[in-house]
Structures are given as structure tokens and as C-alpha cells.
Structure 1
Amino acid sequence: MTTAAGHLAPDTRQRWRGVVALNLVSTFSQIGQYGIGFSLYPLALEARGLPAWQIGVISSALWLGMLAGLLLAPMAVRRLHHSRTVLVGVVLSALALMLTPALPVTWWAVPAAACGFGMGFRWIGNETWLFGIMPEEGRGRIVGFHETLIAIAAVTGPALIAVLGATGWPSFLVGGLLSLAAAVPLQAAGGVQLGDDAVPTPAMRAGVSWWVLVKRFITLGAILAGIGGITEGAILGVFPVYARERGFDSSEAAWLLSVFGMGSLFLQFLLGWIVDSWGMRAAATCAAVVTAICALFASIAAPAGQLFTVLMFLLGGGITGFLTLGLIAATEHADPARLAEDVSRVSIVFTLLSAIGPVLVGGLASLAGGTMLMVFACFTSVVLLTTLKLFR
């Protein structure tokens, strides 16, 4: 909407100011909470010599904490509104990260869960707010751009860990400070509010049968996000074990995770463009095929140097792309109430299966070696390709 002079109307300017500010909130908080937090815990634990199954359990605490945050965030948004919910989330994660080095390793599951809980609050509070005010035209490209922007965290976080080290307190401190930095752009978005009908609603309601509830989660968006979640959770939680067996130390493993994040960063907009040009199934098939081929090669060969870097780059784009595509599928409806419910559903499925990934693959790695990580990534991609045929 423009004025007679050709300038954006005040409400449109305010809306776009909110879009910019909330994207910055996502960027800063994602680097601190996810880029550093979700990568640092398994790297620090592996550097301390913990077995794969125990690393998987503590890594799972991150995702279980986030799942609890996602489930409680709708109630928090109703009582505190979006901005305060986001603020509580980033502060809680910051405190958890900064206190972790002072605790015995056996207690790290507690701050890990608190860090994840804060991310769940921030995710629902911020993204339902953001998706509710963005324009409908070119939504695939807009969501793809947003996912590209927050994918900076998957590059920056591990890169900072590689520089600062995974064994001391500097990485935990920086992660906490970056989480707190999200509060600055959050203040600029405070004037852009959504109506009550855009508040996310819980998936469960009284009087709804379990079968009806299950059917609500059998959507293309939820399935895409779920497969992406269980695979990405396994990668973040168990990759340090896989990397150690290939002869990499913790700093080198952090760098390879940063390369994984570069794939997430540079390939999400491309997937969004494929969705807008050729459709959701074409984009999902492309992501699944690339992931399956790269994971299969990494599981049966002994890649090193530049070839391994390319594999990690493509795996990052494909695996992260599953969540991007799930969010695009969930934001196809213009109704704010439907939008919030669909985003919440995708978030819950993604996080629940992300919590299962590290425990499941950590156990498999303890029994059969770290190569099981790539075997598992190949398997989940094949499952997705098979599932896509059911939604034709």
C-alpha cells in the first residue's frame, strides 16, 4: 500500500520495520542459542572423552528442553505477548550457557535443557510474529530468505567454537552474550503487534480423540520437518564422534560443522525458488536425493580434504532444507490462526524427532561406530523420497 506521493503508508512502513527487526532477532539469537549452544555441548563433551551414548543423551536434552518451550510458548504468548516471550527465551538461554562451565559435566543436561527451552520460547514467539506480518506474495522466497539469514548461525557458531575452543568457558560466554544481543532489535519491533487470532494454539484440545490428533500431524510440512529434525539432531549430536574416527580433533570437527552450516546458509533460498518455480515435491525430491547420495558416499568411502568439505556443504543444504520446506508448506495459508497452528505443529514435530536423533544414533554409534551417522542420514532421506509418493 502506498500514498499518493508514492511512499509507503505508515502502517506498511511499520510492518516492514518489524520484519527487519524480527529477522535480526532471529539472527542474533540463533547464533547464540543454536549455532553455539547446540554445537558446543556435544563438541565439549567429546573433547572430555565421554562415550557416544552419553553425548547423545545430553545432546537430546537440548531438544527436549526446546520441545517443552515450544509446548508452553503459546500460553506464554497469550499472557506475556510475543515480545516478552522472546525476551524470556533469550535471557534464559544466555544464563544457561554462561553457567554451564561452572557445573560438573554430569549435570550438563540441566543447562542444556534450559538453553533449549529458551530457544523454544524464542522460536514460537518470534517466528509466528514474523510470519504473521510478512506479505503473501513470493512467500516461498521470503521464508527461504529468512531461513538463509538464520542459517548464518550454523556457520558462525561452529566457526567461533573452532577459534575460541570447545573445552573452556569463552565459547559458552560468547554464546550467552549473542543470545542477549537479540534484545536490542527486539525493542525496535515492539510497536508491531498481531491480533489475538494470531496467537499460536496448542495442538491438543479437550475432547479431541488421539486419532484425530495424530491425523493433524500427518501433513507434508510436519513430515518434512520431522525427517529433517531427526537427521539434523543426529548430525549435531553425534558428528564429533564420526569426525574423531576420521582423525579430526574438536577444532577441525567444529570447522566441518561450520561448512555444514554454509550449506544451510547458501542453499535455502535456492530451495525456496524451486518451490515457487516447480513446486514443493520437486524441491523436496531434490533435497532428499542430494542428501542420500552425499551421506551414502561419506559412509562407504573415506573422504578427506576438499571432497569431504563439499560433502558437508551439500549435506548442510539438504538436511536443513527439510525444515525450510516444512515451514513453507506450513505457511501456505493466509489465515493468521491457521498459520500459527501450522507453524506450531511443524516446530513441535521437528523438535520432538530432533530429540530422538542423538539418542538413537548415539546408541548405534556406540555399538557399530560413528559411520552409522551417515548411514542413518542416507536412510532418512530414502524414507522421505518414499513418503513423497503418498502426497501426490
Structure 2
Amino acid sequence: MRKPSEFDWRTIVALNSVSTLAQVGQFGIAFVVLPVWLVEQGLDATQLGMFAASLWLGQLPGLGFAPWLCKRFGDKQVILAGLFSTLLALLCTALVGWPFWLIGGGLAGFGLGLRWIALEPWLYLIAPAHARGRLVGFHETLIALAPIIAPVLAAYAGIHGKAVFWIGAGFTLSALVPLSFAKVAPINTHQNSVQTSGEHKLSFLRQPRDRLFKQGVIIALLGGMTEAAVSGLFAVYAQERGYTVNQITDLLALFGLGGLLLQYPVGWLTDHSSLGTAAISCAIGTLLVAVTMTLPITYLTMQITVFLLGGCITAFLTLALIASTTTAFGDMAQNVSVLSMLYTVSAVAGPLMAGVIMKATQGDALMWFIAMAALIMAAALAISGSGKWRR
């Protein structure tokens, strides 16, 4: 086991900083604030669902090609490409109208996907393996600042104009500073140095039979659906309940705050108990909170429930990443890429389905959609674990 002094802490800090800053522009603005801005431009639930789906759909080529691009050009260069894709997406969205906003959404998702896969396997492989669950939780806590910071800044600057695009561009560009301090990895971080090519192929084929990986698949498929539906359509749900734009941005900030505060405890629970225990707890919490949000509740109660919903739903991505980085089989970058793509495919479908249902019924249908997905997740995890939760 390496001593603490042997770890490249400068690069660990730098990469965490890159994620924290870039996530505000790439996710906080693009995925959380822009749907509110688009509601102000007159988009309905179906159109907003299409835009939300375009964000996640754009991630797929980024997630899929990032491991190959990293091997060919290097992790740092792929991160740079992801950041500049987001800048182009913000420019496109600011200058065009519907349906060309979908192009901006796709570019924003593509940029986030590139940065995600290029950065996180690099970070986790150079960090202490014995605390990887906590590191994932800490890293996800940092990037969970994005859905707090972005709505607060957008509300302060004004949601009606173009200020949100300047905020997104500023944070995305600022990520270049800590990236310059990250040392290039001495080995290819997207290969497992202890496996031969044949062993790698064999282990990848064995992944579907690994219980941790199967649980990661369940979490990714249903977690992506719920997160994308809430982040993309919450503005419509809240607007139908009579909340103002400022109240909606405040609620979104509380949603992000809940995600911020829960990620490290989720990582800690996984390290000290199991992935299944943590995931079922979050799924049941999501179910209870979503059902509560369909009731005629006060604004204070809404604030509390949105905070709890943010904590539970944001944890699903953290748990999927923990599954991809701790499973016994395969190359870590490939595992992260596979589960991230499953999460993203699910996220494309989530807002599309929920948007159609909401337009045909009412805004509260969003929460019933979330509750049903959480119930299915809890049941599927319980069946896959068969009561044996430890690794």
C-alpha cells in the first residue's frame, strides 16, 4: 500500500477543482437553469422534455468516444475539447431559437460527456484505493455545488436576459486554470496495467455476472430517468403550482443543496455497509418525498421536500459511479463509460416520457413518474441482492 505522501495530491486537488468549476457551466447552467429560461421563452412541457432529452442524448457520443479519444490524444486534451464544446453550445443557444435550441442542448451534453469520462477515471486511479467510495462521494459533493450556485447566480443576475449564458461561459473557462496544474499521468489511465488484452476481454464478458456491476446497471437505468425528468421538467411542475420564477430558482437551489449534503454520507455508507443498502435507502426516500410533493402542501413544506428529493436523486449517479469503480472485473474507464452511457440513455427517455404524460394530464404527474421509477429501483435492487449486501 502506498503512503499518503506518495499520492499525487496536486493533481487530485486540480482535477477536483476542474470538475467543481466546469460543472457550474456544463450542468448547473445548461441542465438546471436553461430549462427555466426556456419556460420563460414560452416552451411547453413536451418541448421542454425534448430539450432536456437533447442534453442527455448529446452526452452519448461524448461518453462512448471519450475512452478512445483519451488513449489517442490524452486525458487533458479531451477535457479541453469538452469545455470548448460547452462554450460553443452556450453561444448557439443564446443566438438561435426553437427548434435550434436542441442543437445547443446536444452540444452541451457532448461537452459534459467528454469531460466526465476523461477526468473521473484519471482522478480515481491516482487516488487512494482504500477510500475510493469516500473519494467518489467527496467529488460528487463538490460537483453538486453546481445546481446550487447556478440558480442563485441566475436569480441574482436575472433569468429573463442573456446573463445566464455569461455565467455559464465564465465558469467553464475558469476550469482551464486548475487544469493547467494537473500533471499528465505517467501511465495510460484508461488501461488496467495488471491485465493482458485477453484477460481484459474475459473480465469484461464476466461483468454482467458481477453483483456490484448488476446493481450499478439497475441504479443507472432508473436513476438517470429520474434525475433528467426532475431537472428538465421541474419548472413546469412548479409553475402549474403557482410559484414565481424567483421561487422556482430558489427551489432548484435547495434541490442542489440537498444533493450537495448527501453525497459524502452516501459514499461513507457504501464503504461501511454496501452499495445495495445505500441505493435502496435513496430509492425509498425518493418514493416517499415524491408522493408527498403531489399533495397540497405549503411552500415551507415544499422547500423541505425539494431539499430531500435533491439529496436522494443526486445520490443515484454517485452510487452508479461507485459501482463502476469498485467492481472486481474489467477496466475502470470502460466500467465508468458503460454505466455512464446507461445512465444517459435512461436520462434521454425520462423527460420525454414524463413531458408527454404531464402535457396529457397535469404537472403533478412528474412526481408520480418519479415515485414509480423509485419503487421499481428498490424492488429490483432487493431482488438482485437476495439479502446479501456486502461485497
Question: One fold, TM greater than 0.5?
Answer: yes
Using the TM superposition, name which of 190-199 and 259-268 deviates more: 190-199
The answer to whether residue 52 in structure 2 is matched with residue 59 in structure 1 is: yes
Q: 1:156 to 1:193 in 2, by over 3 A?
A: farther
SS of alignment partner, residue 248 of structure 1: coil
Aligned partners of 1:161 and 1:251 also within 8 Å: no
Distance 1:33 1:184 in 2: 16
SS of alignment partner, residue 293 of structure 2: helix
What do residues 283-318 of structure 1 show as CA deviations (whole Å, max 9, x unaligned)? 11211111110100111x122222111100110111
Q: 1:197 to 1:366 in 2, by over 3 A?
A: closer
Distance 2:364 2:216 in 1: 29
4+ runs of 1 displaced by more than 6 Å? none
Distance 2:86 2:229 in 1: 21
The answer to whether residue 81 in structure 2 is matched with residue 84 in structure 1 is: no
What do residues 240-289 of structure 1 show as CA deviations (whole Å, max 9, x unaligned)? 11000111122221221111000100011111111122222221121111
**How big is the shift at 1:222?**
2.1
Distance 1:34 1:193 in 2: 30
Distance 2:233 2:206 in 1: 32
Q: 1:35 to 1:213 in 2, by over 3 A?
A: farther
Distance 1:71 1:213 in 2: 20
SS of alignment partner, residue 105 of structure 1: coil
Please name the residue that 1:202 is paired with: none
SS of alignment partner, residue 138 of structure 1: helix
Please name the residue that 1:18 is paired with: 11
In percent, how many aligned pairs have the same letter?
37
Q: Which of 41, 49, 54 is matched with 2:34 structurally? A: 41
Q: Which of 253, 267, 271 is matched with 1:258 structurally? A: 253
Please name the residue that 2:302 is paired with: 308
Aligned partners of 1:98 and 1:173 also within 8 Å: no
Please name the residue that 1:372 is paired with: 365
What do residues 119-171 of structure 1 show as CA deviations (whole Å, max 9, x unaligned)? 11000001111111111112211111111111011211122222223321110
Distance 1:308 1:391 in 2: 34
Aligned partners of 1:133 and 1:194 also within 8 Å: no
SS of alignment partner, residue 278 of structure 2: helix
SS of alignment partner, residue 15 of structure 2: helix
Please name the residue that 2:195 is paired with: none
Q: Which of 293, 296, 300 is matched with 2:291 structurally? A: 296
SS of alignment partner, residue 195 of structure 1: coil
Aligned partners of 2:190 and 2:331 also within 8 Å: no
Q: Which of 145, 149, 155 is matched with 1:162 structurally? A: 155
SS of alignment partner, residue 191 of structure 1: coil
Please name the residue that 1:272 is paired with: 267
Please name the residue that 1:121 is paired with: 114
Distance 1:88 1:194 in 2: 21
Please name the residue that 1:355 is paired with: 348
Distance 1:245 1:258 in 2: 19
TM score, norm. by length of structure 2: 0.90
Distance 1:263 1:377 in 2: 17
Distance 2:303 2:355 in 1: 23
Please name the residue that 1:329 is paired with: 323
Aligned partners of 2:52 and 2:232 also within 8 Å: yes
The answer to whether residue 144 in structure 2 is matched with residue 146 in structure 1 is: no
SS of alignment partner, residue 159 of structure 2: coil
Aligned partners of 1:275 and 1:283 also within 8 Å: yes
User: How many pairs were matched up?
Assistant: 372
**How big is the shift at 1:192?**
3.4
Please name the residue that 2:197 is paired with: none
Superposed counterparts of 1:197-212, under 5 Å: 197-198=190-191
SS of alignment partner, residue 106 of structure 1: coil
Q: 1:47 to 1:282 in 2, by over 3 A?
A: same
SS of alignment partner, residue 198 of structure 1: coil
**How big is the shift at 1:195?**
2.0
Q: Which runs of 5+ in 1 are unaligned?
A: 200-207
Using the TM superposition, name which of 90-99 and 344-353 deviates more: 90-99
SS of alignment partner, residue 331 of structure 2: helix
The answer to whether residue 313 in structure 2 is matched with residue 319 in structure 1 is: yes
What do residues 190-233 of structure 1 show as CA deviations (whole Å, max 9, x unaligned)? 3334426538xxxxxxxx9xxx7995897211211221110000
Q: 1:193 to 1:118 in 2, by over 3 A?
A: farther
Q: 1:197 to 1:319 in 2, by over 3 A?
A: closer
Please name the residue that 1:224 is paired with: 219
Q: 1:255 to 1:284 in 2, by over 3 A?
A: same
Q: Which of 279, 287, 292 is matched with 2:282 structurally? A: 287
Please name the residue that 1:204 is paired with: none
Please name the residue that 1:248 is paired with: 243
Aligned partners of 2:258 and 2:311 also within 8 Å: yes
Aligned partners of 2:67 and 2:333 also within 8 Å: no
Aligned partners of 2:70 and 2:190 also within 8 Å: no
Distance 1:102 1:170 in 2: 13
Q: Which runs of 5+ in 2 are unaligned?
A: 193-200, 386-391
**How big is the shift at 1:370?**
0.9
Please name the residue that 1:205 is paired with: none
Aligned partners of 1:129 and 1:194 also within 8 Å: no
Aligned partners of 2:122 and 2:189 also within 8 Å: no
Matched AA of 1:324: T
Aligned partners of 2:255 and 2:310 also within 8 Å: yes
